Amino acid sequence: MRKTSTRLADGRELIYFDDREPYLSGAATREVPDTRALPARDTVSEIRLDVLTGEYVAIAAHRMNRTYMPPAEENPLAPSRPGEPPTEIPAADYDVVVFENRFPTFSGGNGRCEVVCFTSDPTGSFATLSERRARTVIEAWADRTAELSALPATRQVVPFENRGEEIGVTLTHPHGQIYAYPYLPPRTQALVRRAREHFEETGRSLLADVLAAEREAGERMVLGGQAWSAYVPRAAKWPLEVHLAPHRDVPDLTALTDAERAELAVLYLELLRRVDRFFPGVARTPYIAAWHQAPVGADRELGRLHLQLFSLMRAPGRMKFLAGSESAMGAWINDTTPELIARRLRAVAS
């Protein structure tokens, strides 16, 4: 993989991650300028504390008018090709690209938000990537995790993907995002608290013990390899939920070995293909996939890398909407069982 960093017309950083020639060897370089006349960035956001819950809320009013479901000919994540309007990516083709979000949740030094384009093909998906391209995305995630973790305000780096109009995706081009949070999100705060309690009681890692228990029980296991295992959590909240975790104690993607990254590319693609076959008659299952990584700084030793993937779909054409009990009170109800979810994910193996 070859990394090339440049700037867009309004000063935002854009990074190419190439895995094909002539760019991989450096025989050709990424020197295509962004010729758009972009307005100056006006993306000031702030972080406010909800004193009733102790949770932070990002106030980012500039996101109200962000791009929403543009026609195919105005796809901002497509390459900039001759005869077509220029896009966010100046090059006429690309492998993987990361750039600063034009409509970020965090700005002004309070965190950072980046977009990750998995492929230049607007009709593809992560599940249709080759193993080589999936590995390039993993390398990009690891690279950005290292860079963003070094920013003074960062407390946690989270790469994630939202897929499907059903869950509110506003751009259909295959892509994800990376958030460098300036605070620990509520789920991480809860996980850190529970991990600390578990360590004080047992001297062991909570997430490592959960993985070991699931591998031993086997009932909710989905797939496994030499370095990774996927399982449905015992108290899954969603109609389709699965976690993917390394066998070794690893804080984040940056700490993975070459062998662990190689196997991840294979197993993650297999997992995504099973997710797409989960619901009969549904070609592409809508989902959210988020990489939970250890906090940066304090409490880092209590975190452990793992993926949480879930879908809001509960049946073909039917979504799980969070109504009163869940939205207002945070009291979850699952309409299926984790054991049935795991059984289905095993049944649709390649």
Mind listing the pLDDT tens digit of every residue in the chain (350 residues)? Answer: 999 999 999 999 999 999 999 999 999 989 899 999 998 888 888 999 999 999 999 998 888 777 777 888 889 999 999 888 999 999 999 999 999 999 999 987 889 999 999 999 999 999 999 999 999 999 999 999 999 999 999 999 999 999 999 988 889 999 999 999 999 999 999 999 999 999 999 999 999 999 999 999 999 999 999 999 999 999 999 999 999 999 999 999 999 999 999 999 999 999 999 999 999 999 999 999 999 999 999 999 999 999 999 999 999 999 998 889 999 999 999 999 999 999 999 999 99
Q: How many residues does the chain have?
A: 350
Q: Which fold has domain 2-181?
A: HIT family, subunit A (3.30.428)
Separation CA 21–CA 306 (nearest Å): 33
Q: Which residues are catalytic?
A: 175
CB-CB contact of 184 with 111 (8 Å): no
Which are the contacts of 318, defined by CB distance < 8 A and separation ≥ 6?
A: none
225 class by beta-carbon count within 10 Å (0-12 exposed, 13-18 middle, 19+ buried): middle
Q: Which of 51, 41, 19 is nearest to 112 (CA)?
A: 41
Tokens describing residue 86: 């220029």
Largest CA distance in the chain: 65
- The answer to whether the beta carbons of residues 96 and 136 sit under 8 Å apart is yes
- Whether 295 and 192 have beta carbons less than 8 Å apart is answered as yes
CATH 3.30.428.10 fits 186-347, yes or no: yes
Residues 8-12: contacts with CB under 8 Å, at least 24 apart: 8/34, 8/36, 8/38, 8/88, 8/90, 8/99, 8/100, 9/34, 9/35, 9/36, 9/37, 9/38, 10/38, 10/39, 10/40, 10/41, 10/102, 11/41, 12/41, 12/99, 12/100, 12/102
How far is the C-alpha of 78 from the C-alpha of 91, rounded, in Å?
A: 9
Q: Do domains 2-181 and 186-347 have the same CATH topology?
A: yes
CA-wise closest residue to 314 among 242, 241, 244? 241
> Which pair of tokens denotes residue 282?
């549904």
pTM of the model: 0.96
Contact yes or no for 264/119 (Cβ under 8 A): no
Domain ranges in the chain are 2-181, 186-347
Q: Is 26 left (phi over 0), alpha (psi -120 to 50) or beta?
A: left
Q: What is the rounded distance in angstroms from the CA atom of residue 316 to the CA atom of residue 153?
A: 42
